[in-house]
Structure 1
Amino acid sequence: MHIAVIGAGAVGLATARELAVRGNRVTVIEASRPGAGTTGTTFAWVNSHGKEPQSYFELNLAGLRAHHELDAALGGGPRWFRPTGNLEWATAPEHAEALRTRAARLRERGYAVREPTPAQARELEPGARIPDGAGAVAFFPAEGHVLTGEFLARMLTDALACGAVLRCPARVAEVAPRPGGVRLLLEDGSAVQADAAVTAAGRWTEALTATAGHPVPMAGPEAPGSAAVGHLGYTAPAPVRLERVLTTGRLNVRPDGGGRLVLQGLDLDADADPAAAPAPRVAEALRERLAEVLVGGAFAEVAEVRVGRRALPADGLTVCGFADPDARLYTIATHSGITLAPALARWAAEEILDGTERPELAGFRPGRFRGGRPDVHLTQARLPGRQ
């Protein structure tokens, strides 16, 4: 079977690899370069604990488990998945109460949660500046983070080794599904004919699927302050000891390899504007907060602040399934792309190749938008560190 995959981010390359290792002919079409879209500006925290409703929690839990399984199955070489857990603490009373409530709810769901004392948490993460008076502390040991460059490299090289072809840069202008196949018209005038196509185009999903007559509405990724827009800070190598994701009321931070860190202060996102350079105050605020959170943070240099644009479906929940009645156009769009990539890739391959309908995806089909664009409050992009 010949399958075209549109988009070479985390989801697209994971799907291409899954299809290729199963012996299919795969063509990946990428408009810019691998990882240039959403994957290039993501905090890359693999977790399920802040995800609601229950069905979305379970979907992300399956994604978390899939990372553990894939990491164990492939082994060897640079490891993209760092399952070192997530340590969260709260000093503000409202945040502390929410953290305790969330930990109790997750424990009831069977999610791995520990509630160490501040002293025990500092033993776990010696560089963390956790005050003795912290109102609540929780450790989620099954969670982790992904080094996105390492992940993309493994997915791409595996796919190419199995015969996949990468066309890059090449932009798809139109998708035309029809009985028996799908035709992709590229902006350079060439075309790709395949038995099926997978759109893994992130924030470009709506425009792309609209050309096929089956639009999947996405939250606007261009509007300043949108839930789909946010800042990420990247440090130069810094004298900071950090093993895992840390989430606090003012800063989320994780290692990024080579002594570098990725920083996120969600309250700073209100002014994030994709059309403008980030204000210098954002970098300064992130550095100041890092000094508050980690020993050595005062000596870190925030080398770059990027404005990321999240791939956020209009109702905040993942989209995964066939968009057309002839089952030729398979669409994946999700804010949880890093967490879900291995699981969605496997399920998509099963549904495309075998016609198997995965029950996990029952509430996440593209068909739910056929009645028009929903008018709901988007929350999924704002959950980490803000509960």
Structure 2
Amino acid sequence: MRVAVVGLGVVGASAARALARAGAEVTVFERAAPAAGTTGTSFAWINSHQKNPLPYHELNVAGMAEHGALQEDGGQWFFRTGNLEWAVGAGRSRLVEAVAELRRRGYPVEWITAGQARRLVPDLRVPDEVTDIAWYPEEGYVLPAALLARLWGEARDHGASLRCPEEVVDLAAGPKRAELRLASGARETYDVVVLAAGRWSEQLAARCGVTLPMADPEAAGSATVGFLGYTAPLATRLDRVLTTPTLNVRPEGGGRLVVQGLDLDADADPATVPGTTGRHARELISRLRGLLAGTEGARLDSLRVGQRAMPADGLTVAGFGAAGSVYTIATHSGITLGPLLGRLAAEEIVRGKESALLAAFRPDRFTGVDKSDLAPLTPARFAGQQ
């Protein structure tokens, strides 16, 4: 079976790896560079917070487990070191309700004291008014570049090839074949095309008759955009994820941290990325100093505006379109779900084994749906929403 994969982010690399391991002849088309899309600007927190309805929560829990299983085969990109979360004011009741719901679902979470939290993160500064902190021991974070290297490296080991830079500009699907038209004017035919183009998926899907409404990745202040600050190396002790009312933080390796202030995302605009010494950068650094000791002299090496690949209803899309030769994957939870979606897609494409986990996420749910009738997604403004 000859399979083309469009896009080399984590989702595309996961699909290429699984397909090549299953015996398919795989060619990946990437328009710019590996990780040039959302993969390169992700907070990369592995979790199943606020993932509703229940089938979406279950899919993300399975995605978390897939990272652990994959890492057992070697490599280090997933750090299952847990997440600490607290909230104040109105956010406190939201957190209590969220923890109760997760407990009912059997998700590992417990309440701990500020003292216990400081034993887990010695440099943590907990506000005096915070007495109870939610501890999620099975969560963690990913280093996206290291994950991509593992997935794509193994895909290459099994014969997958990369065409980069090579842009796919058109896609025609039939019952048994799909044809790609490239920016160069060349046309190529494959048994199956896997569309893993992230925030560029809607236009390509429409070319082959698949309705895939995506939230606008260019809309300033919307649910699809957000600031990510990357610090210079710091002498602070943090090996876990922190999700707090003012700042979300995770390690990035080499003493560097990734910081995110969700309320600041109202100002995020892909067309205007602020500098590393401007107002937003200064605010992120100020919040970091208030959260962790050992951050004196902290500065940002870069401040990026991430653009999320988000289907318009907020839920994952995975499956064949009506023609049967194009398999579409689009998801907001690409880092958490990437390895799982790649494996399940390969099983469906190569072996014809449909996954019950994906039953609620087929692209045909959008058939006949007018994008303008879908309610706009609410931007993430407190921990867990993103």
| TM interval, short-chain normalised | over 0.9
CA separation in 1, counterparts of 2:219 and 2:69? 38
Counterpart in 1 of 2:287?
289
Any gaps of 5 or more consecutive residues in structure 2? none
2:112 aligned counterpart, secondary structure: coil
Instruction: Give yes or no for the alignment of 1:350 onto 2:350.
Output: no
Give, in angstroms, the shift of residue 299 of structure 1: 2.2
Q: Residues 2 and 199 of structure 1: is their aligned pair in 2 closer, same or farther, counting only changes over 3 Å?
A: same
The residue number in structure 2 matching 1:301 is: 299
Q: Report SS of the residue matched to 1:116.
A: strand
Of 197, 213, 216, the residue aligned with 2:193 is 197
Q: Which residue in the other structure is 1:49 paired with?
A: 49
Question: Offset of 1:136 from its aligned partner?
Answer: 3.0
SS in 2 for 1:26: strand
1:132 Cα offset (Å): 4.2
Q: What is the alpha-carbon distance in structure 1 between the residues aligned to residue 81 and residue 324 of structure 2? A: 39
Counterpart in the other structure of 2:266: 270
* Counterpart residue number, 2:313: 315
Question: Distance between the aligned counterparts of 1:327 and 1:378, measured in 2?
Answer: 30
Superimposed CA distance per residue, residues 238-296 of structure 1 (whole angstroms, 9 cap, x where no aligned partner): 11211111000110000000111111111111111111122611111110110111112
Q: Percent identity?
A: 54
How far 1:302 moved relative to its partner?
1.0
- Aligned partner of 2:328 in structure 1 is 331
Distance 1:29 1:382 in 2: 35
8 Å contact kept, 2:193–2:327? yes
Greater mean alpha carbon deviation, residues 5-14 or residues 371-380: 371-380
Instruction: Give the AA of the match of 2:355.
Output: R
SS at structure 2 position matched to 1:207: helix
What secondary structure sits across from 1:327 in the alignment? coil
Matches of 1:147 and 1:163 in 2, distance apart?
Answer: 25
Determine the structure 2 residue equivalent to 1:340.
337
Q: Which residue of 2 aligns with 1:23?
A: 23
Name the amino acid aligned to 1:185: R
C-alpha displacement at 1:380, in angstroms? 7.6
Paired position in structure 2 for 1:363: 360
Provide the C-alpha distance between the structure 2 equivalents of 1:364 and 1:310, rounded to a whole number of angstroms.
18
* Residues 1:66 and 2:63 are matched in the alignment: no
The answer as to whether partners of 2:263 and 2:381 remain within 8 angstroms in 1 is no
Q: How does 1:105-116 map to 2 (within 5 A)?
A: 105-116=101-112
Match of 2:377 in 1: 378
1:245 aligns with 2:241: yes
Q: Deviations over 1:301-357 (max 9, x none)?
A: 11111011100001111111112x231100000000000011111110111112222
Tell whether the 8 Å contact from 2:199 to 2:310 is kept in structure 1 after alignment. Answer: yes
What are the Cα deviations for residues 81-132 of structure 1, in whole angstroms up to 9, with x where unaligned? 1111111122x22222222221122111110012111001100111111134
User: Deviations along 1:130-159, whole A, 9 cap, x unmatched?
Assistant: 134305301101111100110011111111
Please give the per-residue CA displacement for 1:4-23, whole angstroms capped at 9, x wherever unaligned. 00000000001100111112
Give the C-alpha shift of residue 383 in structure 1.
5.8
Separation in 2, partners of 1:386, 1:287: 22
* 3-state secondary structure, aligned to 2:95: helix
8 Å contact kept, 2:214–2:309 = yes
Match of 2:211 in 1: 215
Aligned mate of 1:146, from 138, 142, 160? 142
Alpha-carbon contact 1:287-1:298 (below 8 Å) kept:
no
2:268 equivalent to 1:261: no
Equivalents in 2 of 1:185, 1:386: separation in Å?
Answer: 38
Aligned residue pairs: how many? 382
Give the TM-score taking structure 1 as reference length: 0.96
CA offset at residue 189 of structure 1? 1.2
Q: Once the 2 structures are TM-superposed, how far is the Cα of residue 213 of structure 1 from its aligned partner? A: 2.1
SS at match of 1:13: helix
Cα distance in 1 for partners of 2:381, 2:193 equals 32
Secondary structure of 1:112's aligned partner: coil
Does 1:6 find its partner at 2:2? no
C-alpha deviation, 1:382, in angstroms? 5.0
Structure 1 unmatched ranges of 5 or more: none
Q: 2:219 and 2:245 mapped to 1: Cα distance? A: 25
**Distance in 2 between residues matched to 1:265 and 1:183, nearest whole Å:** 43
Using the TM superposition, name which of 55-64 and 196-205 deviates more: 55-64
State how far apart, in whole Å, the 2-side matches of 1:179 and 1:362 are: 21
Q: Which letter maps to 2:377? A: L
**Equivalent runs, 1:83-94 vs 2, <5 Å:** 83-90=80-87, 92-94=88-90
Other-structure match for 1:163: 159
For 2:361, give the aligned amino acid: F
3-state DSSP of counterpart to 2:135: strand
For 1:381 and 1:135, the matched residues in 2 are separated by 25
Cα offsets for 1:26-49 (capped at 9, x unmatched): 000000000000001100001002
Tell me: CA distance 1:112–1:226, structure 2 relative to 1, closer, same or farther (3 Å).
same
Stretch of structure 1 that moved more, 163-172 or 63-72: 63-72
Output the CA distance in 2 between the equivalents of 1:351 and 1:131.
50
The answer (yes or no) to whether the contact 2:248–2:260 under 8 Å persists in 1 is yes
